[in-house]
Amino acid sequence: MSSTLSRLTVLAAAVLAAAAPLFVTLDLARDLALEDTQTESLRLAREVLNRSDTAASQLYAGIDQLSAFPHGTACDSAHMDAMRTVVASMGQLRAIGLMRGNHMPCSSWGDHGEGLDFGPAEFTTPTGSVIRTAVSLSFAPGEVFTTVERKGYAAVIHKSQPVDIVTDLRGVGLATFTPGTSELRSVRGPVQAAWIDRLGDQRELLFRDGEQLVAMLRSPRYQTGVIAAVPMSHYQQQMGVYMLRLIPAGLVAGAILLLAFLYLNRLQQSWPATLRTALRRNEFSVVYQPVVSLQDGRVIGAETLIRWQRRNGEHIRPDVFIAAAEDAGVVHLLTQRVCDLVERDVRQWLPRFPGLCISINLSANDLHRPETVDMLRRLAGSVPERSGWLTAEVTERGFMRPEEAIRVVEALRADGIGLAIDDFGTGYSSLAYLQHLRFDCLKIDRSFVHTLGTAAPTSQVVFHIIELARSLGLKMVAEGVETEAQAQTLRELGVEAAQGWLFGKPMSAQDLTALLERGPVGTCRD
């Protein structure tokens, strides 16, 4: 059941690894297409605004020039020539002429006799220009003009002039309007007058309304606003373009991720096999690091540390392969090997050095397996004439599954096996289990020992740990002691024992035997 589950998990993770880049690609294509569509609608709006502003500036400049004309309202040929000169120099203007009431008696087009009837004014801008947006003239059927009248003259442009731009986008809506009103002036394509209100006081606005992406701009110079609405079909089309370009890259990235995942997974799955082979080939050994009494400097015990040297001579660090073995669920095989190796060594030592204590490290997984109790019981009983010499070092991580850990720890205690809490304060910390379970010893992690005498922000922690250990009646072993100054401070703080390079690096069983023989050897059970 659990192997089916884990196979399913691996499959799901593989699918995810392959699909993730595709999702990223899709997202990227979507972003780029949206950006393109926004840029396009803003570009169109700017072009409309530019044309509208150019026309407005020409309307006003043309009227200003004519109103300064010395002939006044003569409508004679010199007057009309002046009008033609103005129109010839201003490309956006269709005509310019004199106004009397709603009529234009003469213009750059010529003399209109009774006058061209422009009909009533539609509105007047705050600066006093009279605007008509739907003027039709009998000689230009089908065409609609916009006129601006001021100072007695009117200038005429094609109503569609601002929105007459070339674009190959289909379904684009373009318009101009006078801010503050609710009506559109020039319109081309689908545009809604209701959008005008949305601009408010802003200079620029971008929004999506249904199937259109709308850009609105307001002229900084004139009473003009413009709208450009690009259909969302353009967005979909752009997205297609980007997807065609990006999907191959996404597929390649997905394939690479999938391969990397499968490779790592194989490596992971091959750990148990690799470790079993290494066990068969006896590639594991143990070294011992002496633990000394801080009072008299005697060796009172040793911590067992596992070593792995591969056939090719390569050493693999214990924290690396222990973690891998834990993940692969086979760390108990290593613990078993450590027990076997320690058994061989203690058979020689214990009869000769009866006060000696040996500790071994248990991993979190060991604490969750009832079989660990039998394994350690057998080791503890392997030197029948001695008892109480074996200590199991456990880390706080083991208590992340407290029920199982507590059961194993209590069974070990019942068998007379000592318990040390290792690396205290470095990881997951729960004081609760410290009170409920009776430990014998607390190992002060070397990271705290190294802050002694420094200004490190955590340098106070070691004092609290020592206080806590004392209040719980625990013995203390300081780890990683490298200098005499550290040893001296720990001694003054009342720490009983220590290990570290100052006293001895982890060494072979042979070297420890030699060290013990030089003596004197103390006892850990004081």
Residues of the shown chain interacting with Ca ion in the complex, contacts defined by CB under 5 A: 361, 393, 422-423, 479
Min separation Cβ 303 and ligand C2E, Å: 7
318 belongs to the binding site for ligand C2E (CB under 6 A): yes
Q: What one-character-per-residue DSSP string does 320-389 give? A: HHHHHHHHTT-HHHHHHHHHHHHHHHHHHHHHH-TT-EEEEE--HHHHT-THHHHHHHHHHTTSTT--S-
423 belongs to the binding site for ligand C2E (CB under 6 A): yes
363 belongs to the binding site for ligand C2E (CB under 6 A): yes
Query: Nearer Cβ to ligand C2E, position 97 or 500?
Result: 500
The binder of 330, among Ca ion, ligand C2E, none, by C-beta within 5 to 8 A per type, is none
Query: Nearer Cβ to ligand C2E, position 10 or 493?
Result: 493
- From 25, 147, 212, 289, residue interacting with ligand C2E (rule: CB under 6 A): 289
446 belongs to the binding site for ligand C2E (CB under 6 A): yes
Query: Nearer Cβ to ligand C2E, position 103 or 369?
Result: 369
Residue 146 sits at φ, ψ, to 5 deg, of -110, 135
Piece of the chain touching ligand C2E by CB under 6 A; list 31-39, 207-215, 315-323, 467-475: 315-323
332 belongs to the binding site for ligand C2E (CB under 6 A): no
Min separation Cβ 427 and ligand C2E, Å: 11
Q: Judge whether 283 and 310 are in contact, CB under 8 Å.
A: yes
Query: Nearer Cβ to Ca ion, position 40 or 393?
Result: 393
Min separation Cβ 517 and ligand C2E, Å: 22
- From 338, 376, 441, 512, residue interacting with ligand C2E (rule: CB under 6 A): 338
Give dist(CA 89, CA 69) in Å, integer.
Answer: 16
Give dist(CA 97, CA 73) in Å, integer.
Answer: 10
Min separation Cβ 28 and ligand C2E, Å: 44
Q: Judge whether 440 and 418 are in contact, CB under 8 Å.
A: yes
305 belongs to the binding site for ligand C2E (CB under 6 A): yes
Question: What is the sign of the dihedral through the CA atoms of 86, 87, 91 and 92?
Answer: positive
- Binding track, positions 207-236, relative to ligand C2E; x by CB under 6 A: ------------------------------
Min separation Cβ 276 and ligand C2E, Å: 17
Residue 510 sits at φ, ψ, to 5 deg, of -60, -45
444 belongs to the binding site for ligand C2E (CB under 6 A): no
Query: Nearer Cβ to ligand C2E, position 132 or 450?
Result: 450
Query: Nearer Cβ to ligand C2E, position 322 or 346?
Result: 322
Query: Nearer Cβ to Ca ion, position 215 or 474?
Result: 474
506 belongs to the binding site for ligand C2E (CB under 6 A): yes
How long, in residues, is the chain? 526
Give dist(CA 206, CA 325) in Å, integer.
Answer: 57
Q: What one-character-per-residue DSSP string does 403-458 give? A: HHHHHHHHHHHHTT-EEEEEEETSSS--HHHHHHS--SEEEEPHHHHTTTTS--TT
The binder of 496, among ligand C2E, Ca ion, none, by C-beta within 5 to 8 A per type, is none
Residue 290 sits at φ, ψ, to 5 deg, of -65, 145
500 belongs to the binding site for ligand C2E (CB under 6 A): yes
Give dist(CA 258, CA 414) in Å, integer.
Answer: 50
Starting at the edge strand found earlier in the chain, the sheet holding 103-107 runs: 110-117, 103-107, 95-98, 153-158, 145-150, 130-135, 123-124
Half-sphere exposure of 47 (CA within 13 A, CB side): 15
422 belongs to the binding site for ligand C2E (CB under 6 A): yes
Sites of contact with ligand C2E (CB under 6 A) = 289, 305-306, 317-319, 322, 338, 361-363, 422-423, 446, 479-480, 482, 500-501, 506
